Structure 1
Amino acid sequence: MYSIFPIMNTGNHAQGVALSGQKLEIPCTIVMPKGTPSIKVKNVSHLGAKVVLHGNDFDEAKIECARLAEAYGLTFVPPYDDPLVIAGQGTIGMEILKQIPEADDLDGIFTAIGGGGLASGVSAYVKRIGNPKTKVVGVETHDGDAMERSLGQGERVTLSEVGPFSDGTAVKIVGAEPFRICRELLDGVVKVDTDEICAAIKDVFEETRSITEPAGALALAGLKRYITNNKLLGSQKRFVAVISGANMNFDRLRFVAERAELGEGREALLSVEIPERSGSFIALHGIIHPRATTEFIYRYNDPERAQVFMSFKLSTTHREKEVSDLLASLEKQGMQGSDISDDELAKSHARYMIGGRVNVPNERLFRFGKE
């Protein structure tokens, strides 16, 4: 008997190895970053594997895994940087072409990219065995675009940091073998933001009543972005997005629901400065009405001007024009508005920190900490 030490943070590879070890009666130890969602850790543990949490990200966990494998003479099963693992992930491409009638008419397949195993495997099968005319497009986040940067520079690039939302693809450097294959066969990379991923999670839920994790919905978000960028909505093009993970902690759903409408372009978030006097709120509401207000944040801030964050449903599909017209209407009423729908800092932090420049006699500010 011997142990296998795979490292990963996507959840699927760890669960696959743990299940294989269980069936073959081979003890497995899985090394994951400390910030791995609890649902992934629990699922791997339930399959009988030992879980070691180490490091703050995938790459730190990988170093610890290599150390353990060398120290104890164990077999290391990488999550993506291995020809056999890539071939296994490439069978997804085979299944897609087998399951879709008239596969020769399939225009493209979209896959998430973390370390690059899935994208390289699907590319290899589709281009070499299937239909080379079918495009294979990888999808990354704006704050986790190691593959796109590597392809652009012709060599693997190491990111200084990676955004944590799509934790299943949060890799600082892609695998050497996946990069070699993707450089030759991948047709391109599309990048998306957090809101677009949340909108894709909502799309999957509404269509199938299934809940994906952020990395699992990454390909669909990229497909939607690709269609928008290339003005293909309503065309007869046929695409497939690979949904590749459902390891979602329940408590993350609130954040996803909050950001999905922004990702779909159905909602706008504005920062508005209005006169701090009676009637200003009513005047502001009159400009927004009859649109449904979904969020209104105000706190006493300044004796002359009030700062308000508000979000509301858009009433048309022409987002830019509608928001521009609203901002013009606000200006006519002596109000200064800014569209902060695409400002990640404002959406994640500033909207919850509004106010605070003027002392209010009956207000107390507390800070809780742990030594």
Structure 2
Amino acid sequence: MAEHFHLNTPLLESVSMSRQTGTAVYLKMENSQPSGSFKIRGIGHMCRQLATQSKGVVCSSGGNAGMAAAYVARKMGVPATIVVPSSSPQMVIQKLREQGAAVQIVGKVWDDANAEALRLAETEGLTYVPPFDHPLLWQGHASVISEVAASLGTSVKPGAVVVSVGGGGLLCGVVQGLKDAGWADVPIVAMETVGADCFNAAVKAGRRVTLDDITSEAKCLGAKTVCQRAFEYSQCSELTIISELVTDQQALRAVETFLDEERVLVEMACGAALAAVYSGVICRLQDEGRLPSPLGPLLMIVCGGSSVNMEQLTYLRNKLRT
């Protein structure tokens, strides 16, 4: 078996984003992972630890975690059952089946699908692979930062890291990776869309809160409660984590601009992070004194996404522009 299921993804400098922010912007292209997103890092790591002798894996996911679990299971030769909510795009369900996974559609949101996945793990004796809330996942995701550190070398330290937050798994991995690299003082800008903002709601309330519903079109950011570890990090005085929101329209505009400028199509959940540059969030944070001016190189985690194609993009344009 290969040492990893994930690739060491390209780290590219964006000339247009650098011009817009007045600092070098580096893109960590997680969209080029075999499963389409960063999720394969953590899920691959977890399955390698837990699922080698497994009867099969079960994962609850409206998209990227399911794709990663299905891909890894196929490579390991174990069966995969992916439980998705009814809000998942048809193209994702089709892609999961192409990877050889059995797909079950349960409930309206991820939380419903997750309850069924836990039940299947219990009754069928399957290995449960959570999409974001597990230390092995965070350990795997931390590799995204160790690769960046190896690429940039010890003399170059990011001025800030920009990530999208759904359930908080990538955020936890990035924090761990920054600590491992000796970069724990690097600020993190945590981006969400309005209507899928469980992390921002927790930061504002000073405690974890559960959203009533996911109303954003960035369905892959759609966890109603952020994981405990991500919330704890937000309260930690040694870390600087800045929680920011953009609208669905701003996230969509970021997706379109990124497609035009970098020739890469990513999903809305990833657009939330890109909007930190395209909607001027980074410059505003500098004006407010919450990020330094001048700023060292900005690291954007382009988390990717398997639930977007031209048809989906057209649908989102029509829905969000009316």
Q: Same fold (TM over 0.5)?
A: yes
Q: Does 2:62 align with 1:6?
A: no
What is the identity, as a one-letter code, of the residue corresponding to 2:298? Answer: F
Q: How does 1:92-107 map to 2 (within 5 A)?
A: 92-101=144-153, 104-107=156-159
Q: CA deviation at 1:202?
A: 1.5
Q: In the aligned structure 2, how far is the partner of 1:71 from the partner of 1:23?
A: 25
- Whether 1:226 and 2:281 are equivalent positions in the alignment is yes
Decide whether the 8 Å contact of 1:83 with 1:177 is kept in 2. Answer: no
| Structure 2 unaligned blocks of 5 or more | 1-53, 288-292
Q: Which residue of 1 aligns with 2:122?
A: 70
> What is the CA-CA distance between 1:90 and the residue it aligns to?
1.8
Counterpart for residue 310 of structure 2: 250
Report % sequence identity: 26
1:282-361 map, 5 Å: 348=322
Match of 1:112?
164
Moved more, 68-77 or 220-229: 220-229
What is the CA distance between 1:100 and its match in structure 2?
A: 2.8
Give the structure with higher Rg (CA): 1
In the alignment, is residue 166 of structure 1 matched against residue 166 of structure 2? no
Contact 1:123 1:186 in 2 (8 A): no
CA contact (8 A) 1:110 1:242 kept: yes
Which letter does structure 2 place at the counterpart of 1:4?
V
Which position in structure 1 is the counterpart of 2:46? none
Q: Give the AA of the match of 2:258.
A: V
Shift of 1:143: 1.4
1:137 and 2:192 matched = no
Q: Following superposition of structure 1 onto structure 2, how do residues 16-31 of structure 1 map, counting pairs within 5 Å? A: 16-31=68-83
Q: TM-score, normalised by structure 1?
A: 0.65
Tell me the CA shift for residue 2 of structure 1. 0.5
| Partners of 2:234 and 2:144 in 1: CA distance | 16
Residue 241 of structure 1 corresponds to 300
Q: 1:209 aligns with which of 263, 269, 283?
A: 263
Letter of the 1:8 counterpart: S
Question: Contact 2:185–2:240 at 8 Å: present in 1 too?
Answer: no
Change (3 A) 1:36 1:208: same
3-state SS of the aligned residue for 1:139? strand
Q: What letter corresponds to residue 210 of structure 1 in structure 2? A: V
List gaps (5 residues or longer) in structure 1: 260-343, 349-371
Amino acid in the other structure paired with 1:239? L
Is 1:194 equivalent to 2:256 in the alignment? Answer: no
Shift of 1:103: 5.8
- The RMSD of aligned alpha carbons is 2.4
Q: TM-score, normalised by structure 2?
A: 0.74
The count of aligned residue pairs is 261
